[in-house]
Every structure is written in C-alpha cells, then in structure tokens.
Amino acid sequence: MVKPGMEPPLGKESNFDDPDREMYYICIVSNSIAMSVCSIFMFLRLWARYRLSMRLRMDDIACVIGYIGFMGYCVICLLMLRYGGGLHQWDVPEDLVPKYSQTVYATMVNYGPTVFAIKAAILLFLASVFAPYKTYVKWIYGFLIVMGIYYVVMLFLKMFICRPISMFWGATTDGQCFNQRVLILVDNIISLLSDIVVLLLPCPLTKKLQVGLMAKLKIVAIFGVGGIACIFSLVRLVFIIQKGESQDQTYVFLQINLTGIAECGIGLVCACFPFIPMLWKSILHKDKPGYSSSYSRSQFEMMSGSNKRSRSATDNAESAHYKEDMGSDENVLIPSGKSYVTTKIRAGDDGTERNSVGNQSGGRGSSLDDSHILRTVEVVRQYEER
C-alpha cells in the first residue's frame, strides 16, 4: 500500500490516481511564458548591444549571468512537478518527498545569486547612464557592494542550512539545521527592500535630465516596470508569513516559488527593456544617411577633471542646444553607440585651443593630456548607421 507524504486533513482523503492538478498546470504555463518572454528580451538586448557597440559591458555580463540563473530556476521549478510539486502532499507518495526536498534546496541556493545578478545589471546600467553625477554613481556602487556582501553571506547560510546537508531532505536525522522559515523570511524582507531601492534610484535624477517631460516620463516608466517585481516580492513575503509553517510543502512552496519566478522574470525584462527603443530606432534608420546629436556636458567633461565652476560659464548658453538635439530618451538611456567624437578643448592659461577627433565605436582615437584640460569641453557626436 502506498503511504502518503503526510496525513490528509480532516475531511480529505489521499488520491494518488486523480489528484487536484490546478497548481501543477499553472506552474507549467507560468514557467513556459516566463522562459519565452525573458529569452526574447535577452536576445533583443544582446542584439541591440551588438548593433550599437559590438562589445559587451559589465551590465551585459551581469544580465547574462542573471538570465542563466533564471533559466536554471525555472527548470528546477518544472523538475519539482516530477516529484509531487503542485499537488497537495497527502496526494504525493511518501518516497517522492525527499527528492522534492532536494529541488527545494536547489531553488534556495539558486535564488540569491540570480536575484543579485539581475539587480547588478540594472544598477551597473544606471551607473553608466548617470556617469556624470559622480556622487550618485558612488552611492550606486556602494549599494551594490553591500548587496554583494549580503548575498554571499546568505548563499553560504543556505548552502549549509543543515549539517550535514543531506539532513535537509531527510536522508539522516543525526545533525542540526537552521530555521528554514526564518532564513527565507529574512532573505525576502531584505530582497523586497532592495527591490524598492533599485526602483526609486533613477527617480531623483530624471528631473535633472535636459529632455522634455514626455521623455522623462518614458524613462521613469521603463524603470517603473520594476514596481511590479516589488509587488510579487511582497506577495512572496506574505505567502511565507502565512503559510511558511504549513506541512503541505509540495503545494505551498511551489506557490512561493512561482512568485520568485515572477519577481526575477520582471527584473530581467526591466534590465533589458531600455535597449529596445534604441534597437528599434537603429533598425528604422538602417537605410538613412545618419543622424546627429550634439551636447556639451558629456562624460568626457566629467572625466577630464574640469571643475564645476569652470563649466558654469557655458552651461546656460549650451543647455538649449543640448535639449533640442538630445531629444529622445533613447539617447539618454544608451550611453554608447557607433559614433564619431570631435572634441574641442580650450585649455591652459593662454586660452589656446586643442582639437581631437576619435572614433568611439572602434577605438579611443587621439589621446588627450588630461592634466591640461582646465576649462570647457565640447563634444559633438555624429551617428552613422552601418
């Protein structure tokens, strides 16, 4: 006689032949949609990067790592179904429960690095977009370091939640374990708080961007997609608080896992979405001779060591031209592209001018002596579609 994974509650009976499979099918559909959508967005992001600069940046690498972790997370979730996931535990044979617990362990270990990689991709992208605001960028990197330390510590706590590890899935009773519910609860509270921080980070600086109101709203909307991830993170937290101590783990933990998939999947979409408008624009302009943008307060100026007082004399005169030509939110959000850079520098006490022309897409061009850049830096970018 087959023994159930747990005794059925009062008024229920075990049903191994035709159990309730509603959550089972929800899991299959949800994972299929999540894997497909995230794969499409990841492909579009990498295609956009290839068309615009033909090289990967740190945020791209972090996003790829997050994508790989996310796909692994989804595969493990689907593997849970083979061992009773999505069914009530009284409808699952007892001998399948240890194998199900092994998949639970795998998702616990996988979740932290995946979430961190996705958040790192978003933060590194923000750091490149808002590079001229050095104080802001320092806060981003500081927050990223703190998150990295936290997730490393949490990773080891989850990996060694039981000593020996096999005690987690009941292979032995001789050992000890941390409180699984408390560990996951703390992890999700901090994850929710970090989601909110990542969501709010771009907001203070959007008002400083010299673009129209609609462009600013588009930028906020793009990153605001992360607000949906915060909602699922909150739902996950509520599930853990309400059902974390339930014995019906084959059903309850799968519900919790699905909220994690939604959180990570939306985070990936949020990390990839800013690249889509620029990709679309580059496709539309494929057969056109080119388009240009000119602006004075560029990353070159910030990197040159020129101080704020030396720039202020030219800000007012050039801001109108910047606003007119910079125009679209794509040019603000995408920090690099195939462009030719002409740099006009007024430097030195004698007021002499130096000029340098470089090709950003292919190399650095002529080198500049940073120690002589004291005053105004004017950068003109000419974009030509290849």
Q: Which residue has the higher pLDDT, 122 or 319?
A: 122
> Length of the chain in residues, anyone?
386
Q: Which long-range contacts (CB under 8 A, 24 or more apart) does 189-194 make?
A: 189/237, 190/150, 191/115, 191/233, 191/263, 192/230, 192/233, 192/234, 192/237, 194/119, 194/147
Helix (H, G, I), strand (E, B) or coil at 211: coil
Q: What's the mean pLDDT in 177-188? A: 88
The string of DSSP codes covering 266-321 is: HHHHHHHTTHHHHHHHHHHTTTS--EEEEESS-HHHHHHT--HHHHHHHHHHHHHH
Q: What's phi and psi for 313, nearest 5 deg?
A: -65, -25
What strands lie across the sheet with 291-295, from one edge to the other? 291-295, 376-383, 339-347, 352-359
Percent of the chain topping pLDDT 70: 68
Residue 5's CB: how many other CB atoms inside 10 A? 23
| Average pLDDT of the residues of the chain | 76
Percent of the chain topping pLDDT 90: 36
CA 313 to the chain's CA centroid: 38
Q: Give residue 180's pLDDT.
A: 83
- List the structure tokens of 329: 């939110």
Q: Give residue 294's pLDDT.
A: 36
Q: Which residue has the higher pLDDT, 61 or 244?
A: 61
CB 385 within 8 A of CB 288: yes
> What gap in Å lies between CA 180 and CA 168, rounded to an integer?
9
Tell me the one-letter amino acid at 10.
L
* Residue ranges covered by each domain of the chain: 22-281, 288-383
- Model confidence over 217-269: pLDDT tens digits? 666 666 666 777 888 888 888 988 888 788 899 999 999 999 999 999 999 99
Q: Give residue 101's pLDDT.
A: 93
CB 302 within 8 A of CB 335: no
Q: What's phi and psi for 172, nearest 5 deg?
A: -150, 155
Q: Give residue 251's pLDDT.
A: 93
Q: What's the mean pLDDT in 157-177? A: 86
Region of 80 (left: φ > 0; alpha: ψ -120 to 50; beta: rest) is: alpha
> What gap in Å lies between CA 294 and CA 321, rounded to an integer?
8
> What gap in Å lies between CA 44 and CA 104, rounded to an integer?
32
> What gap in Å lies between CA 362 and CA 360, rounded to an integer?
6
Q: What's phi and psi for 102, nearest 5 deg?
A: -65, -40
The pTM for the full model equals 0.74
Domain 22-281 CATH class label: mainly alpha
